[in-house]
Amino acid sequence: MAQRVFVSGSSDGLGLATARALIDEGAEVVVHARSQARAAGLREALPDAADVLVADLASREQTFALAEQANALGRFDAVIHNAGVGFREPRRVPTPEGHAHVLAVNVLAPYILTALMHRPDRLVYLSSGMHSWGDPDLGDVDWLTRRWDGAQAYSDSKLLDTALCFALARRWPEVICNSVSPGWVATKMGGAGAPDDLALAHVTQVWLALSDAAAAMRTGRLLKHQEEIAAAPAARDEAFQESLLSTLTELTGVVLDGAERSVGEDAWRLSA
């Protein structure tokens, strides 16, 4: 039976390359786009995708709905949290819930989806080498008082993604949880002058999602090009991980280890 994989943010860039490679490997792949217009283009680009789901991850309401749509399709073997906005992100009007856009898309959305989707066998989170520049101070994650700095906001978000991955690897030993630094590559996010090899940027995600090799079955790592690399000390700090989970629960209204983690009436009540 084909492995079932969900890839968020798959309408272009690394997400599209990842989804295409998974399909080529024989996986049953459900992809995701931010809008109906982008979904139409995605259907043309990946006609063999099993389904295309639509949600703007800057919206908590739409992220909840995406989890519900995904769960209606059944449990996935692997989920790749690829969607994200980059270090050139300008300061935007806050999301409907009042969050910084980069925090909502890069951190809150994968947390919500992780908590509310049926638990897969494997989880993959997109990190970045810039995570090492992230500030572990959780006092102003929404940039309400700090002077805006897009590169710092992105770095902070990737530190939080990496710490979230490691927290899950510790809390959910039955799930293989890893994070990936794809390198600085020439996507819309990375820019035309990025020096790393674009052809390799999605390979580790595909390998972690599908491979039964012993090296792909280990958990709690940050990898680049299928090799483990050092993570920022804060990401490995269990006290920081627990503080992050508490902060994410407070910001989203979603408890990570809920008894059933359904996205029906009870989950909506959590967000009220």
Q: What is the pLDDT of residues 242-253, one digit of tens each?
A: 999 999 999 999
pLDDT at 186 over 50: no
CA pair distance 108, 161, nearest whole angstrom:
9
Shortest CA distance to 80 belongs to which of 205, 181, 236, 266? 205
Could you tell me the CATH number of the domain that includes residue 255?
Answer: 3.40.50.720
Catalytic residue, chosen from 111, 125, 158, 224, is 158
Q: Is 158 a catalytic residue?
A: yes
List the beta bridge partners of residue 53: 32
Place of tokens 């949600």: 55
Q: Are 127 and 84 in contact (CB under 8 A)?
A: no
Residue 111 known to be catalytic? no
pLDDT tier at 269, thresholds 50, 70, 90 = very low
> Average pLDDT of 229-233?
98
pLDDT band at 265; cut points 50, 70, 90: very low
Catalytic residue among 111, 125, 154, 224: 154
Tokens linked to 238: 């269990």
**Average pLDDT for residues 9-25, to the nearest whole number?**
96
Q: How confident is the model at residue 86 (pLDDT cuts 50, 70, 90)?
A: confident
Domain that holds residue 45: 4-271
Q: Which residues contact 63 (CB under 8 A, 6 or more apart)?
A: 55, 57, 108, 109, 112, 113
Q: How confident is the model at residue 259 (pLDDT cuts 50, 70, 90)?
A: very low
Say how many domains are in the chain: 1
pLDDT computed for residue 183 by the predictor: 65
Section 44-65 average pLDDT: 98
Return the number of other C-beta atoms located less than 10 Å from residue 120's C-beta.
Answer: 21
Average pLDDT of the residues of the chain:
90
Q: Dihedral through CA 203, CA 205, CA 208, CA 212, nearest 10?
A: -40
Confidence of residue 190 (pLDDT cuts 50, 70, 90): low
